Structure 1
Amino acid sequence: MLRLRPAHLPARRRRCSTCGGHGPRPAPPPPAPPKLVLEVARFADLPGWTQDAQDQAWPALRLSCERVMKRKPETDLGIGGTAADWTGVCTEVLALAAPDAAAVRAFIEDRFTPVAATNNGDAQGLFTGYYEPELLGAMAPDATYATPLYRRPDDLVQVDLGDFREELKGQRIAGRVQDGRLKPFEDRAKIVEGALGSKGLELIWVASPVDAFFLEIQGSGRVRMADGTIMRVGFDGQNGHPYVALGKVMLEDGLLERGRVSMQSIKAWLNAHPGEAQALMNRNPSYVFFRDLGPGPGPLGAQGVALTPGRSLAVDRKFYPLGLPIWLDATLPAAAEGATPVPLHRLMVGQDTGGAIRGPVRGDVFFGPGAEAERLAGAMKQPGRWWLLLPNAVAARLPAAG
């Protein structure tokens, strides 16, 4: 039975779960902006330091040292000091062609200082993975190979905002100049619809738009043609629109269950729903352009050196210069549901970056080519922490903790 409140009685106030006795509670303070905090540590603090085969990271460190040695001595490397601070140690690195793990460990312990890196004091961060995919393609389009990979347009202007404002270091935008002003470039939807179709920018044609989409996320890969010829392609620019993670979109839309989001699950859904896949992929407006890398070793990272499988790491350039050796304390994805993750205690080198790699404790492990690399990269979403390895003289100039 519906009971009506008598007109002469005031309405009962609804209880407010967020109000105190004197009105609404104040909104919680916004989270602190990301801030890199460094604290000098000891090698004894590094989990698994004496168990790693550090010699496997030596080729990556040599490649980074070659790049640093070509820079002017006064070049600012942020928390890494200047290029001059690396001259002595890199000269020695390049003089040692193939030391064993014990020799590498002794060298680093003598010439480097470990420095714990945190985000406002929080050491825990997120570590994901990427790999070098292989796609099927052709030099001319047909019914099978209908998705183009585009070269970078000549009128695409890429801007490093750190060149203009110190506080914007590590932030980048891109666009095209119109009437003397930098305007946004076309987003993914417009490019897919044909906005660049008349400009002759097609580098190669591939069989799957889904594979092309994930190639952009990886940043480089191989395209195999029917005669066995392989073209290695690599990142050559981005349209300036922000990267939007498709897994997050699919979670919000109820297309995937929480805890079951991986590269493999996203790919499977897109391939199973071809009529809806492109519209969903267009929710990520970012678009990547490629170039033919030609013959040579491995895909190139942002530092301009070939990436070393299992030893190269993508980092946020807002906080870190490329080329830093880093000790990673994380885990690998479990081989099966319910299995125990394998510890990942490894010497790595920050040689790359990526649109989704943002924050002081955020890294992306390069796993290389092949099916196992794809499995690891697709499932990698692990908590972890890291220590930077800085030349002793650079670490000595760091401010005291606290």
Structure 2
Amino acid sequence: MVHHTINTSNSKAPRASSKSKRMNRLLYPVLIGLIVGTLVACGSAPRQTPADRPSVPEVAAPQPVVVGDTSLLPGALLQAKSRWTPVRWAELPGFDDDALHEAWNAWVKSCERPGPVFAPLCSEVRRLSIGSGEEQRAWLVARLQPYRVDALSGSAEGLLTAYFEPVLEGARTPSAAFSVPLYQPPLGLAQRKPWFTRQEIDTQPSVQAALKGREIVYLADPIDALVLQIQGSGRVRITQPDGTQTVVRLAFAGSNDQPYKSVGRWLLDQGAVRDASWPAIKAWVAQNPGRVNELLWSNPRTVFFREEILSDLDAAFGPKGAQGVALTPGRSIAVDPGSIPYGTPVWLASPGPTARLQKLVLAQDTGSAIVGAVRADYFAGWSPSAAELAGRLKQPLRLWVLWPK
């Protein structure tokens, strides 16, 4: 950068004429302005050359995060159930450390059914799926603005839980070993809201007659059937009469519209357990086989399914969420759509104690128990460790939506 200066110390300079003096008086304020402007410019951060900027495939190179950024933030945004408060990128815990390529897989899935806000970005998102983490991070900073999700009451902290896709054994026909049916939606389900309760389904002959022929598979354990209904979908490994096995996915196809009641909460209120995790619930059932129906009927809600063929590609992802795209383990969350629209990239931070999570996720699903501004259900996958995490995760949560500038 060139510095413009004026030499005023030369005593040997000839005296100026009166005309020159007048010209000097006119030029003097202009020169002073040049000096001040130059000094201010030299005190700011130097411009980056194109070679200094991160290269993004076919996307204009964005400016990096400026330490101590003092640029003006946009205004807050009001949603039906939340208030979004603009923040700087430096406020996102762990933003520099996340393996963003894992989240990009989920984002590409969201671009199969994008909303109107994010659809214009999907071509760039797809191109960046082969970019480096640095390129993806730079693009986020250039194109999106983070907003902290606050409750309308002002609280920025909420609750994180997790869910998973169970993998169970089943059969096409009932037997002594496999006697618990899972059903397709009954005919006329839409004409009666709410439909019959779980207890009425199990005990009333007229309701059982309405479900006759709607069985998809039979499971061995009624608690496994309950788990699959609570999770909303699952994989069932079916052994055929000739000994071969096939794996199908049972996806959510409707419910009886009865209120959901937690069987874990019921056991806690009974003083039957101190730990309401699924391992503890199953242990209680093993010790109290005569009270299984009492436990099951404490939750009047039941879920109906549809069968989906599980291809090799489908097997690498979870079931379709409420957005209509397949869920990605560890990168998809269920939210309250009144707080966060489907397809929105979200920065999630939860300090533990079960799991410390600081990562980019996509809002791609919802659930009957997922209600409120700062509320998320974390899709853990379908492995035994996913089941363990889903059974135990219940901890504080903070969320930031990443919204197009």
User: Which category describes the TM-score, using the shorter chain as reference length?
Assistant: 0.7 to 0.9
Query: CA 1:217/1:331 → structure 2, altered by over 3 Å: closer, same or farther?
Result: farther
SS in 1 for 2:119: helix
Task: Say if 2:322 is the partner of 1:289.
Answer: no
Q: Is the 8 A contact 2:264 2:281 kept in 1?
A: yes
**Map of 1:196 onto structure 2:** 208
Task: Say if 2:273 is the partner of 1:261.
Answer: no
Residues of 2 paired with 1:289 and 1:98: CA distance?
Answer: 39
**Map of 2:171 onto structure 1:** 138
Residues of 2 paired with 1:139 and 1:206: CA distance?
Answer: 9
**Map of 2:227 onto structure 1:** 214
**1:160-309, aligned counterparts within 5 Å?**
176-177=191-192, 183-193=193-203, 195-198=207-210, 199-226=212-239, 227-257=244-274, 260-296=275-311, 297=314, 298=317, 299-309=319-329
Residues of 2 paired with 1:130 and 1:190: CA distance?
Answer: 27
Indicate which of 140, 156, 160 corresponds to 1:108: 140
Query: Match for 1:196: what amino acid?
Result: Q
Seq. identity, %: 42
Q: Is the 8 A contact 1:129 1:365 kept in 2?
A: yes
Once the two structures are superposed, residues 130-178 of structure 1 have per-residue CA deviations (whole angstroms, 9 ceiling, x without a partner) of 1111111001111111001100123122xxxxxxxxxxxxxxxxxx24x
Flag the structure with more relative contact order, 1 or 2, with Cα contacts below 8 A and sequence separation at least 6. Answer: 1
Residues of 2 paired with 1:116 and 1:389: CA distance?
Answer: 9
**Which structure: greater strand fraction?**
1
**Which structure: greater helix fraction?**
2
SS in 1 for 2:286: helix
Q: Is the 8 A contact 2:352 2:396 kept in 1?
A: no
Q: Is the 8 A contact 1:313 1:365 kept in 2?
A: yes
Task: Say if 2:355 is the partner of 1:355.
Answer: no
Residues of 2 paired with 1:45 and 1:210: CA distance?
Answer: 43
SS in 2 for 1:211: helix
Q: Which runs of 5+ in 1 are unaligned?
A: 1-33, 69-82, 158-175, 178-182, 335-341, 393-402
Task: Say if 2:105 is the partner of 1:59.
Answer: yes
**1:92-103, aligned counterparts within 5 Å?**
92-103=124-135
Q: Is the 8 A contact 1:135 1:207 kept in 2?
A: no
TM-score by length of 2: 0.74
Q: Is the 8 A contact 1:367 1:373 kept in 2?
A: yes
Query: Match for 1:270: what amino acid?
Result: V
Indicate which of 384, 387, 391 corresponds to 1:371: 384
Residues of 2 paired with 1:61 and 1:323: CA distance?
Answer: 8
Residues of 2 paired with 1:332 and 1:36: CA distance?
Answer: 24
Post-superposition offset of 1:303? 1.4
Q: Is the 8 A contact 1:216 1:288 kept in 2?
A: yes
Once the two structures are superposed, residues 175-215 of structure 1 have per-residue CA deviations (whole angstroms, 9 ceiling, x without a partner) of x24xxxxx421011111225234531101111111000001
Task: Say if 2:399 is the partner of 1:389.
Answer: no
Post-superposition offset of 1:55? 1.1
Query: CA 1:84/1:364 → structure 2, altered by over 3 Å: closer, same or farther?
Result: closer
Query: Match for 2:224: what amino acid?
Result: D
Q: Which runs of 5+ in 2 are unaligned?
A: 1-79
Count of residues in correspondence between the two structures: 313
Query: Match for 1:266: what amino acid?
Result: I
Bigger Rg over Cα:
2
Query: Match for 2:267: what amino acid?
Result: M
Query: CA 1:127/1:233 → structure 2, altered by over 3 Å: closer, same or farther?
Result: same
Residues of 1 paired with 2:284 and 2:338: CA distance?
Answer: 34
Q: Is the 8 A contact 1:326 1:348 kept in 2?
A: yes
SS in 2 for 1:369: coil
TM-score by length of 1: 0.74
SS in 1 for 2:402: strand
Residues of 2 paired with 1:261 and 1:246: CA distance?
Answer: 8
SS in 2 for 1:389: strand
Residues of 1 paired with 2:138 and 2:187: CA distance?
Answer: 49
- Greater mean deviation of Cα atoms: 185-194 or 131-140: 185-194
**Map of 2:159 onto structure 1:** 126
SS in 1 for 2:397: strand
Query: CA 1:85/1:322 → structure 2, altered by over 3 Å: closer, same or farther?
Result: closer
**Map of 1:148 onto structure 2:** 181
Indicate which of 328, 334, 343 corresponds to 2:356: 343
Residues of 1 paired with 2:303 and 2:132: CA distance?
Answer: 39
Query: Match for 1:276: what amino acid?
Result: R
- Greater mean deviation of Cα atoms: 134-143 or 224-233: 224-233
Superposition CA RMSD, Å: 1.7
**Map of 1:173 onto structure 2:** none
Residues of 2 paired with 1:301 and 1:271: CA distance?
Answer: 33
